[in-house]
Chains A and B, each alone.
Chain A
């Protein structure tokens, strides 16, 4: 009866012995990379808006403070999206007939809210609170990145649980004096290790065990 396997097939076998695990590993690696890529997390993806509002222009150019628009950031869970009225405080005088601002004026006249497209979005079982972070010395730029460099808003971080935990498991490295919280240009000092410890002390930042309790974010 004829032979079914040519001696060459032994090589195939040998290759497979090494190759199969490698291949499996490779596939795993790809999935692992993919699910934390911008494709999955929408990180660094610019989002189109009805009005191309430029944080770069307003923050860097005009030096408007974060809290001018995001009024409730330091005393509510929700930072607050400015009502049309806020825009109109200036734009009832400035650029009153700029085409770009037409939606704002419409909103004001027709009393219809502007529908912005959400940029930062957490799963619904995650309860994030701006108030506590800002009051304990976590600056805006820590999570939102260099907003003053963003002509259009984009999501600076992955917003994945692992990313949250990076900080909750080691808060010191991201703490700054409270009055620096809204400073977009703040740079951490070389001795952040010590500074961070002192600040954690000073602001009663809770122990890592407490910060990583499930109920800190999930209810």
Chain B
């Protein structure tokens, strides 16, 4: 296998999607070896250990929560929604990048999606899994969650379709399901590859079952492409719809700071913003750890950064619009809300949010920064924090200071708020760690196509042109 050229040599204005020297064979080797050959490293082990502990903490705190009631959290009467809903929105948002990359970019024929889509989709699934927990856990009477679904019952009742919360259930469950299918269908050819390369009989058997008897026959490929495109078509609108509905959860209320028509679009933008941040947070270490720099290249990093810049700007516009409207509406309560965001008890959170989501991302204008992986990685983390803070600001500040001063309050998270949140992060990372060791983290089949399309896998390095986007 040819030596992998270093990023440093590739810092052109528009780095190639895959570095030279990559051949059909090398792709397959590189990717499948991560799973089949590579020994379990200490770092990986340690990672699993730590995340396992976090997951145990999560299950523990959930048990306690269900035993005692939501009172163990810091929520109270002015602020009846706390970490649970913040985390829910945050995780759902993170998921979005995955669907965006795999579906939207596929439809837009963005070939650079190829080497990161598999990974991003996995991230989506895991994020949705984390997000899904919260609406359930935050119910006062979780055992009756199914009343939110329409089904014939002896009470002769239906859910109330005027409430966005009901549509939330539909949106999130659909989203989870489609993402799963999309991801799995994409996996099938690669699973076959793994099956064929696996040496250990048990591993072989498992992959074989999962591969559903894929033989790579042209009929298979034809069906596969059809199905894949179809699913992409279904998934694409979800990118917009899911977070729009989450946005409406708030927009439909009359709480100052929620009652705003701009929520759906700017929630979607925010979601993709945080999603790409999370993608970067994860792939930058991974490509290094598993030596995949030539497949997940600076090009990918660059593009993700650019998308973050764009969506970040939309989000910033959202904030601006909110502040403007609070003045323009002439509503005492709206204007007081902005006032309170700037100078109130929670001003720190607000200004931190502005710094993380608006100020710092401006650095991404600069190529040099985009090519500096360490900076990009830190920046991605910062944006993740910022997006969490955004939900914190929206939910807590608005509720803590609404209409009648006598009912104002403060929200102080308890240890159980924090353990549950930290727990879900652990759960998410654990799943990621498992994923990269049991499934091909990069879509081999598609990448091979890409290699073919780029340079037949044989073109010598010097002749290589950065590919135009078709």
Contacts and interface: CB of A to CB of B under 8 A. Distances in A.
Please tell me whether chains A and B touch each other in their complex, using a CB distance cut-off of 8 A: yes
Interface of A: 1, 3-5, 9, 32, 35-36, 158, 160-162, 165, 169
- The binding surface of chain A is classed by DSSP as loop
A160 B157 CA distance: 12
A9 B213 contact: yes
B449 interface: no
A42 to B, nearest CB: 14
Which interface class (under 10, 10 to 19, 20 to 34, 35 or more) fits B?
10 to 19
B439 to A, nearest CB: 18
17 contacts: A4-B195, A4-B209, A4-B213, A5-B208, A5-B212, A5-B213, A9-B213, A35-B154, A160-B154, A160-B155, A161-B156, A161-B157, A162-B153, A162-B154, A162-B155, A165-B156, A169-B156
Contacts of A1: 195-196, 204
Interface in B114-165: 152-157
Given A1-B196, A4-B195, A161 B208 contact: no
A36 B204 CA distance: 49
Contacts, number: 30
Contacts of B196: 1
B205 interface: yes
Contacts of A160: 154-155
Nearest to B155: A161
A36 B156 CA distance: 12
Contacts of A4: 195, 205, 208-209, 211, 213
Contact of B152 (A32, A158, A161): A32
B238 to A, nearest CB: 22
Given A4-B195, A5-B212, A5-B213, A162 B205 contact: no
Nearest to A164: B156
B195 A36 contact: no
The 5 closest A-B pairs by CB, nearest first: A5-B213, A4-B208, A162-B156, A161-B155, A160-B154
Interface centre among A3, A9, A36, A162 (most CB of B within 10 A): A162
A165 B213 CA distance: 54
A165 B155 CA distance: 8
| Residue among B154, B157, B213 having the largest count of chain A Cβ atoms under 10 Å | B154
Contact of A161 (B154, B195, B213): B154
A1 B155 CA distance: 58
Interface in B169-211: 195-196, 204-205, 208-209, 211
Nearest to B152: A32
Most buried by B among A3, A5, A36, A169: A5
Nearest to A162: B156
A151 B213 CA distance: 67
Contacts of A3: 213
Contacts of B195: 1, 4
Contacts of B153: 162
Nearest to A4: B208
A32 B153 CA distance: 8
Contacts of A32: 152
